[in-house]
Amino acid sequence: GDQIMTLYAHLQQFSARPGQQVSRGDAIGRVGNSGGQSRSALYFEVRRGGEPINPQRWIARR
């Protein structure tokens, strides 16, 4: 099947390791305000085969 990868940035704390498989509902980290943000924020990206895809369509299928 397609190789799916998710990216998360601006986390204050990581609970999962890179490459670790996680299941729905697993805590993977805690949102923070890194990168010069004035408030807590989360950057989220989904890639299929190394190419970014629309995360809304990917989430809707779950």
pLDDT tens for each residue of 1-34: 678 888 988 889 999 998 898 898 999 999 988 7
What is the pLDDT averaged over residues 38-60? 90
How many domains are there within the chain?
1
* Residue 34 identity (one-letter amino acid): S
What is the pLDDT averaged over residues 30-52? 87
- pLDDT of 59: 85
CATH code of 15's domain = 2.70.70.10
Q: Which residue has the higher pLDDT, 56 or 1?
A: 56
Task: Give the span between the Cα atoms of 33 and 25, in whole angstroms.
Answer: 22
Q: Which one, of 25, 32, 60, lies nearest residue 46 by Cα? A: 60
* Residue 6 identity (one-letter amino acid): T
Q: Are 7 and 47 in contact (CB under 8 A)?
A: yes
Domain residue limits at 52: 4-60
Task: Give the span between the Cα atoms of 55 and 58, in whole angstroms.
Answer: 5
pTM score of the predicted model: 0.72
**Chain Cα centroid distance, residue 53:** 13
